[in-house]
Amino acid sequence: MLESSAPAKAEAADPREMRAERRLAMLGLLTDIGMQLARDLSRRVGEAMQDGEPLDGGAVALEFSRLSRAVRQTIGLEARLDQDREALARMFEAERAARDQARAERIEGRRAAVQDAVEDAITKAGGGNRKTDALFDALEARMEDPREDDDFADLPMSELVGRICAALGVTVDWDLWKNTDWAAEEWRAALPDSPYAPMTAETGGPASAPPRRLSG
């Protein structure tokens, strides 16, 4: 297993989903307030009738009409927002599935590239068929370890290759991969600690041209 991978962090809640939840909670609160006002109106009318107080039927009817209309509208908005939230949840799920698929494809492609690179190193190191076959078997077992998915998704290719070669006891010759796409990518990115990072011997600063045959 590769060393020092930090545990994967839980995926943060999508802000769009958080806003939808907040809007739904606010509408629920407005519905509760409207129902409380309607109950208060009912209580006041009941008390007035018990006490024999005169009632303005038109005013009571108008207030009740306004309250009931406001409550109905709020409930309707809640229902529509709930439907929108379900659609939003389906969209989020599709987005997550697409991200997971892209990540799986990235891991698979990088695993294959790392395996090819380490196989090159094993082949160059020689040592006889028995030793070479044993190293190939050990490499194959490492490539099949799902616990290393985060490493293969995120770490620089040169770091992956270097770590695995070191774990297998295989000498690393970075010239073997200087013309690969991933070496060129690390050079273009001036990736810190990469053996392909562009540096000048005089200043230790960025080189003005790719090293050796590395194309930019």
Q: How crowded is the C-beta side of 134, counted as CA atoms within 13 Å? A: 10
Helices and strands of the chain, counted as H and E runs: 6, 0
CATH number of 15-101: 1.10.287.40
Least confident of 2-6, 33-37, 59-63, 101-105: 2-6
**pLDDT at position 215:** 38
**Reported confidence tier of residue 11, pLDDT bands at 50, 70, 90:** low
Mean pLDDT, residues 119-146? 89
- Segment 96-105 mean pLDDT: 92
Average the pLDDT over 200-215 and give the result: 41
What is the residue whose two structure tokens read 């307030």?
33
Contact 117, 180 (CB under 8 A): yes
Confidence band for 207, pLDDT divided at 50, 70 and 90: very low
148: confidence class by pLDDT, cuts 50, 70, 90: confident
- Which residue matches tokens 């939840």? 21
Angle (CA) 24 30 32, round 5°: 105
- SS3 labels along 132-177: HHHHHHHHHHHHCCHHHHHHHHHCCHHHHHHHHHHHHCCCCCHHHH
Q: State the pLDDT confidence band at 118, using cuts at 50, 70 and 90.
A: very high
Q: Which amino acid is at 209?
A: A
CA atoms within 13 A on the CB side of 115: 16
The three-state (H, E, C) secondary structure of 102-128, written as one string: HHHHHHHHHHHHHHHHHHHHHHHHCCC
Of 75, 93, 78, the residue nearest 17 (C-alpha): 93
31-59: average pLDDT = 84
The fraction of the chain above a pLDDT of 90, given in percent, is 31
